[in-house]
Amino acid sequence: MNLNYELAEQDLIAARQAVGQTIRYCVPADLSLTGRRIAGFLVIGDEKWAYIENGRVMDQRSIADGTDYKIIPLIGNAVLEAEIDHSKRIIARLTMQHAARYGFIAQILNDISAKRQIRIYNNEEEPICAKCGGTLIHGTRVCPRCMNKAAAIKRLFAVSRGHWKTLALGLTILFASSGIALVGPYFQKLLVNGALQPTDGSTDKGMFFLGIAGMLAVLVFGELLAISKSRIMAGVSSGIAADLRKMVFDKTQQLSLGFLTSQRAGDIMNRVTSDTDRIRHLIQELCTTAIFQLIMLVCASYLLFQADWRLAVVVLLPAPLVAYLHRYIWKTVLWKLFHKQWRVHDRANSFLHDVLSGIRVVKAFGKEEREIKRFRDYNSEFAAATVKSEKLFSILSPITNYLIEMGQYFVLLIGCSLILDKQMNIGELIQFSSYAAMVFGPIAWMMFLPRWVANAAISIDRVFSVIDEQPEVIDSERSGKLAIQGHISFRKVVFGYKTYEPVLKDINVEVKQGEMIGLVGHSGSGKSTLINLISRFYDVTDGEILIDGVDIRTIQQAELRSQIGVVLQETFLFTGTIMDNIRYSKPNATYEEIIQAARIANAHNFIINFPDGYDTMLDENGNNLSGGERQRLAIARAVLNNPRILILDEATASLDIETETAIQEALKRVTKNRTTIAIAHRLSTLRHADRLLVLEKGEVAEVGTHSELLEKKGIYYNLINAQRNMTKKQDQNDGKDQPVSVEITA
Amino acid sequence: MTASKAASDHETDAAKTTSDLSDAANIKYLTVSNATFKKTEGQMLSVKVDGEEHPAVYVHCSFPHTNRSIYLSIRTIENKEIGMIRSLDEFPAETAQFLEEQVSIRYFAPEITRVVSVKEEFGYAYWEAETTAGLCRFTVRGGGGHTKLVTANRLLINDVDGNRFVIPDLTRLTDKEYRMVEMSM
C-alpha cells in the first residue's frame, strides 16, 4: 500500500518547512470539512505532522502532543482523530478511497507518539494493471480500461474453440443455404420468360418444367439445409453455453467466502443461468441469422446492380434512410414505452413475490384489504402501461414496416414503365423485385444489431467478471498435505475484514491437542471471526496460525478443511436422503461408519424410528425434521470424517432445553479426544470446557477454567452473574424451578 | 354502552397504549433545558447533559435520506446513546447549525448535479459526474444492490471504495442522463 505519495514541488517545499527535511510518510487527505474534494496531503516527518494544501501549510503539530490517533470510518467518508490537550480533534478528512491507508497512518502516529518502534503490517499490495499501470479493483485480475467489448467477444470465441469442427460445418451449410436461396429468383425469371411469356413468342414446355423443378429444388434443399443448420448451431451454442456455465459454477465454488457473501445468491445464480443463456442465444443468432442476413444483403445488392443499376439505385438509396427512420421511431418512442411497461411489470412481480411469501404476516396483521388494494393499483398501472404501448405499437409498427417496403413500390413504378417502354421484360422484373425483397429484410434487421449485441456483450461481461474474479485465499505451490493431530496456536494474530478496522488484535493462544476451548464474549467481539480463521475462510492480516506447528497457509485448503468438523447454528441440509446428508463429509463412508456417526450424535434412535430409516428423503433444507433432529444430523455429518479439530459455532443455540441436553450428551462423546473450539449461546453449555477464552473487542481479555475465571471476578464473572440474576427473576416470575440456562449472547 | 362512550373509551385506550410504548422505549430526549452543545476547537462536538460532560460525541440520523433534522441520536465513540433530539428546530439557530455541520460531516454523499458518462464493463460501472464536491470519477460494482433507490426518486450509489453519491431526484435528469443511469440500476 502506498504510504508515501510524491508531492508536487510547491507542496514539497511547504512540507519540508513544516516537518523537516525527512518526510517519512505522505498520504492524501482529499476532503474538506465543507465537503469539497481537494488536493490536500497529510505529511509525517520524524517528529511532526502537517496538513498541506496547494503549497500551503494549513495545520501542523508535534506528533507527541497527541495520543490515541484513530481513523473513524463515517458514512461515505472517514476522519483521522486524535486527542490533543485533553480534547478530541479532527486532523484530516478523507474519502473512503484512502481509508485503509489511514488505518496504517494512525498506527504509525501512535507508535511515534509513544516512542515505540513503528510496526506496520504493510503487506497489502495495491493491485496494478500490468499494461496501463492503473489500480485494479480489489479482487479482479482484468483491467477494464485495457479490455473492451471486442476483446470480450474474442474471449468468447476462445472458449468456443473446443467446438470449432461443428461450428465450421454449420458455417459451410450456412453458406450453401444462402447460395441456394439466391438461385430462387433466377428460376422464377426462367419460368416467366421461358414458359409463361416468352420474349420471342414461342412457349417452351421444357423451360417450364425446368423452372418449376428448379423452384421446387430450391424450396426443398433450402428447407433441408435450414433444418440441419439450425440443428448444428443449436448444438454448438448450447455446448459453448454449457462450457461457460461450468466455468462460472466452478469459479463460484473456488471463490472465497468474502466474495460470495458480498454478492447476492440470486445474482450469481443469474449469471450461471440467464446470462449464459443469453450468450447461447447470441452465438446461435450470430452464426445463423446474422451471417445469413449479411450474405443475403451483399449478394442480393450485387445481383441487383447486375440486373439493372438504375433500379438498384432506386431500391438501395432510400433503404438506409428508411431503415434509420424505422430505428429512430423504435428507439425514441416504442422502446421507452416498452421499457416503462417492463419496469411496472417488474415492480408488480416483486410485490407479488413479497406478499405471497409473507402471507402469514399479512394474515396475522389482518392487512389483506390493504394488500388487495395495493395489488389492484399495480395491476391497473401495468394494464394502463400495456394498453398505451400496445396502442402506439399497433399504429407505428405497420407504418414503419410500410416505410421499409416503400422501395418495392418504386421498383414496381419504374419497372412497369420500363416494361411499357420495352426496356425490360416481366421475367426480369419479377427476378428483380424478388432480389429487392431480399435486401430490405437484412437492412431492417441490422438496424437492431448494435443494441442487441451490446446487450449480449453485457452478459458476456457479467459472466467473465465472475470467471476472472480471483479468490482471496489461494493455495500456493508450496501448499502440502498434513495429517492433523489437533494442536492449534495463534501467534500475534491480527485480522480485519477491512485492514483499517481490525476485528482481532494481537491474539496469542495455544490450544493443546484434545483440549476443549469455550469462546465467550459479547456479540461482535470476534468469536466467529476467530473460528473462520481456523478454517482459513480468510487469511490473517498479520501473525500466523499454526496447526501442529505448521502455518495453515502452507496446507492445502481442501486438505485442511476436510480434517476440521464444523457444526453451525444454521444447519443446512441438502435435498436427498438422511444417509446422503451424513455422508456428505466422506462420500465413501461405509454403512457402518454412518450408523456409528449417527449414534455418536444421538441421531440413530430417531432415524431408526422413521418408516424409511436412513433412506428417509429430506425436503428442502430438511424441513420435515425438527430443529434438534437437523442439528444432530449436522453433528453426525461433522464427526463422520473423524476430524481431529471440531468447531461448534452456537451449535445448540436455537434448541429447547430438553433437546439441548440430548445434544450436550452427544457433544460430550464427540469432543472426547478432539480439539474442540465452541462458541455457545448459553454459558452452561461450556461447563465442560477445559478452558474458557473471553474475547473483548477483538482481544483476549481472560483465559482460564470456569472456576478460575469466577475467582478472578472479571468479565466472565459478570456474565455468569447476569445469567444468574436473570434466572432468579424468571424463577420468581414463574414461581417454579427452572434449569440454569439463560441466554447470553456469546 | 352508547356509541359515544365506546368511542371515548377507545380514545383513552389508544392514549394508554402510546404512553405504554414510550415508557417501554425509555428514550432520553435532549432539549435546550437539559443539554448544552459546544463545538470544540478541533471541529468536533461536545455536550453537557444534566451536568455530565461528554467531550466527543457523534450525531447519527434516524432518517438520513428523508429528514436529517429530526430524531437525531447523540452517541459516544463507544456507540452508547446519550440521548435523542426530537427536532433541530427546538434548538437555537447557532446550535442547530453546528449540529447540522456534524451531520453533514458524518453522512457524506455528494449530490450528483450532472451525469457526464456511465460506462458499464465487466460487471463494473464507470461513472463520471459533476457533484457538489466537484467533478468525481468513480467505479461501482454491478449487482448486489450498489446502486439503489432509497425513496421513489432518490438514487444512492455506493462505489467500490465505500464512497457514496446521491442523485436527489431522478425525474430531474435529462433523458440522456437517465438512460445512462438506468443501465446500471
Structural domain harbouring B121: 112-183
Buried b (16+ CB within 10 A) or exposed e, B63-82: eeeeebebbbbbbeeeeeeb
Q: What is the mean pLDDT of residues A55-81?
A: 89
Task: Kindly state whether residues B63 and B22 are assigned to the same domain.
Answer: yes
List all residues 6 or more positions away from A542 whose beta carbon is below 8 Å from its beta carbon: A121, A123, A492, A493, A494, A495
What average pLDDT is seen over chain B? 83
Distance CA A96, CA A240 (A): 41
Distance from the Cα of B123 to chain A's closest Cα (Å) equals 5
How many domains is chain B built from? Answer: 2
What pLDDT score does A360 carry? 85
> Is A155:A243 a contact under the CB 8 Å cutoff?
no
Close Cβ partners of B122 (under 8 Å, ≥ 6 residues apart): A140, A142, A144, A147, A152, A461, A462, A464, A465, A468
**Could you give phi then psi for residue A147, rounded to 5 degrees?**
-135, 135
CA angle A599, A600, A604 (to 5 degrees): 20
- Model confidence band, residue B155 (pLDDT cutoffs 50, 70, 90): very high
> With the CA atoms of A519, A520, A526 and A528 taken in that order, what torsion angle do they form, in degrees rounded to the nearest 10?
50
Res B75 pLDDT > 80: yes
Span A82-115, pLDDT tens digits: 988 888 888 999 998 888 888 888 888 888 888 8
pLDDT reported for residue A737: 45
β-strands A25-28, B112-121 pairing:
unpaired
CATH for A79? 2.30.29.30
C-alpha cell at position B10: 377507545
Looking at the structure of chain A, the number of domains it has is: 3
**Of A471 and A391, the one with more pLDDT:** A391
Which residues of chain B lie closer than 8 angstroms to A75, CB-CB?
64, 106-109, 164
Q: How far is A88 from chain B, CA to nearest CA, in Å?
A: 6
Q: Domain ends where: B49, B82, B106?
A: B106
pLDDT for position B114: 93
Q: How many CB atoms lie within 10 A of CB A634?
A: 26
In which order are the strands placed within the sheet that holds A675-679? A564-568, A645-649, A675-679, A516-520, A691-696, A699-704
Least confident of A259-263, A285-289, A491-495, A570-574: A259-263
Chain A residues within 8 A of B47 when measuring between CB atoms: none
For range A27-47, the mean pLDDT: 89
DSSP letter at A317 equals T
Tell me: do B78 and B126 sit in the same domain. no
- Calculate the dihedral angle through the C-alpha atoms of A413, A416, A418, A419, rounding to the nearest 10 degrees: 180
By the CB < 8 Å criterion, does B55 face chain A? yes
What average pLDDT score do residues A680-688 get?
A: 76
pLDDT for A738 beyond 60 = no
CA distance linking residue A637 with residue A585, whole number of Å: 6
Domain boundary among A406, A438, A472: A472
Residue range of the domain that includes A14: 9-113
Beta strands in B45-88 (DSSP E): 45-49, 52-63, 67-75, 81-87
Residues B147 and B75 in one domain: no
Instruction: Measure A171 CA to nearest chain B CA, in Å.
Output: 29
User: What are residue B139's phi and psi, to 5 degrees?
Assistant: -115, 135
Q: Identify whether residues B150 and B131 lie together within a single domain.
A: yes
Q: Is 70 exceeded by the pLDDT of residue A297? A: yes
pLDDT at B116: 93
Q: What is the pLDDT of residue A592?
A: 92
pLDDT of residue A741: 42
Mean pLDDT in chain A? 81
Chain-chain contact of A96 with B161 (C-beta, under 8 angstroms)? yes
Q: Please check whether residue A663 is in contact with residue A651, taking contact to mean a CB–CB distance below 8 angstroms.
A: yes
Q: For residue A382, name the pLDDT band (cuts at 50, 70, 90).
A: confident
For chain B, the C-alpha Rg in angstroms (whole number) is 22
Mark whether A213 and A171 lie in a shared domain: yes
Residues B102 and B129 in one domain: no
**Can you read off the three cell numbers belonging to residue A483?**
495429517
Do B102 and B141 have their domain in common? Answer: no
First-residue to last-residue Cα distance in chain B: 58
How deeply is A126 buried, as exposed, middle or buried, from its count of CB atoms within 10 A (0-12, 13-18, 19+)? exposed
Residue where a domain stops, chosen among A113, A130, A158: A113
The shares of helix, strand and coil residues in chain B, as percent rounded to the nearest 5, are: 30, 40, 30
Residue A513: other Cβ atoms inside 10 A: 15
Q: Answer whether residue B129 shows pLDDT above 90.
A: yes
Residues on A contacting B at a C-beta cutoff of 8 Å: 31, 33, 35-37, 72-77, 79, 81, 84, 86-90, 93, 95-97, 99, 137-138, 140, 142, 144, 147-149, 152, 262-264, 267, 458, 461-462, 464-466, 468
| Whether residue A297 sits in one domain with residue A151 | yes
A74·B126 Cβ contact <8 A: no
Same domain, B86 and B120: no
Distance CA A648, CA A635 (A): 9
Nearest to B167 by CA among B141, B139, B134, B129: B129
pLDDT band at A203 (very low <50, low <70, confident <90, very high): low
Closest CA to B58 of B33, B81, B86: B81
Of A99, A466, A468, Cβ closest to residue B162 = A99
What burial letters (b/e) apply to B29-62, b meaning 16+ CB within 10 Å? Answer: ebeeeebebebeebbbbbbebeeeebbbbbbbbe
**3-class DSSP state for residue A118?**
coil
For residue B132, give Cα distances in angstroms to A286, A629, A684, B28, B167.
45, 57, 56, 35, 11
pLDDT in tens, A402-442: 776 677 787 788 888 888 888 878 888 888 888 877 777 77
Do A163 and A263 sit in the same domain of this protein? yes
B185 contact A CB<8A? no
Q: What is the mean pLDDT of residues A326-339?
A: 71
Pair B133, B163 in one domain: yes
Please tell me the distance in Å from B96's CA to the nearest CA on chain A: 16
pLDDT above 70 as % of chain B? 87
Q: Which of A323, A332, A329, A317 lies closest to A403 in space, CA to CA?
A: A323
Nearest to A75 among B120, B136, B164 (CB): B164
Q: Which of B56, B108, B132 sits opposite A88 (nearest CB)?
A: B56
d(C-alpha B122, C-alpha A149), whole Å: 9
The verdict on A297 and A327 lying in the same domain is: no
Q: Is residue A358 part of a domain?
A: yes
What ipTM is given for this predicted complex? 0.84
Assigned domain for A650 exists? no
Is the per-residue pLDDT at A140 higher than 60? no
Confidence of residue B157 (pLDDT cuts 50, 70, 90): very high
For residues B80 and B119, state if they share a domain: no
Please provide residue B73's backbone torsions phi and psi, each rounded to the nearest 5 degrees: -105, 125
* pLDDT (0 to 100) of residue B130: 94
Work out the burial of residue A228: count CB atoms within 10 Å of its CB; fewer than 13 is exposed, 13-18 middle, 19 or more buried.
middle
Do A321 and A287 fall into the same domain?
no
- Could you report the per-residue pLDDT of A595-614, keeping only the tens digit for each? 998 988 888 988 999 988 99
B69 close to B131: Cβ distance less than 8 angstroms: no
Please tell me whether residues A409 and A315 are part of one structural domain.
yes
**B63 pLDDT higher than 70:** yes
Determine, yes or no, domain membership for A81.
yes
User: Is residue A122 included in any domain, yes or no?
Assistant: no
Name the more confident of A154 and A691.
A691
Those residues with Cβ within 8 angstroms of residue A147's Cβ, 6 or more apart along the chain or in another chain: B121, B122
Residues of chain B contacting residue A458, judged by C-beta atoms under 8 Å apart: 120
> Which residues on adjacent β-strands are paired with residue A520?
A694
Taking only the tens place, the pLDDT of each residue in A306-322 is: 877 877 887 777 777 76
* pLDDT of B185 over the 80 cut: no
Residue after which a domain boundary falls, among B87, B106, B125: B106
- Between chain A and chain B, how many beta carbons pairs sit less than 8 Å apart? 113
| Residue A19 in domain | yes
Average pLDDT of the segment spanning A301-306: 84
Mean pLDDT of all residues in A122-132: 61
Same domain for A175 and A53, yes or no, is no
Q: How far apart are CA B183 and CA B185, in angstroms?
A: 6
More confident residue, A498 or A343: A343
Compute the nearest-CA separation of A384 from chain B (Å).
20
A18 vs A206: which has the higher pLDDT: A18
